[in-house]
Amino acid sequence: MRGSILIPVMIVLHTGMGIAVEVNTEAITHLRNPEPSSSPSFPPNVKCMVNMSDGKFVTVTETCREVRQIMESSRKYKR
């Protein structure tokens, strides 16, 4: 019987400052759209807050819908 190798699926997102960050899709717990009126601490170009399983979060310029689409398309290559 052959052993299987687990390879994490990483996606590239961009911070509010334009820096590319690699995010492990298995560590994403949920996505949240920052509400402009209640979130003055986020830069105006931040479109989605990506919450991680370790309790940290990443704010990105991609919309939450775009992040979901990127995650879905990356799952095709995982198989």
Return the pLDDT at 39: 55
The yes/no answer on whether domain 10-78 falls in CATH 2.30.29 is yes
45 neighbors 17 (Cβ within 8 angstroms):
no
Looking at residue 70, its pLDDT comes to 94
Q: Is 20 exposed, middle or buried (0-12, 13-18, 19+ CB in 10 A)?
A: exposed
Question: What pTM does this model have?
Answer: 0.81
Q: pLDDT band at 9, cuts 50/70/90?
A: confident
| Mean pLDDT, residues 5-18 | 88
Give residue-wise pLDDT tens across range 24-62: 999 999 999 887 665 567 788 899 999 999 999 999 999
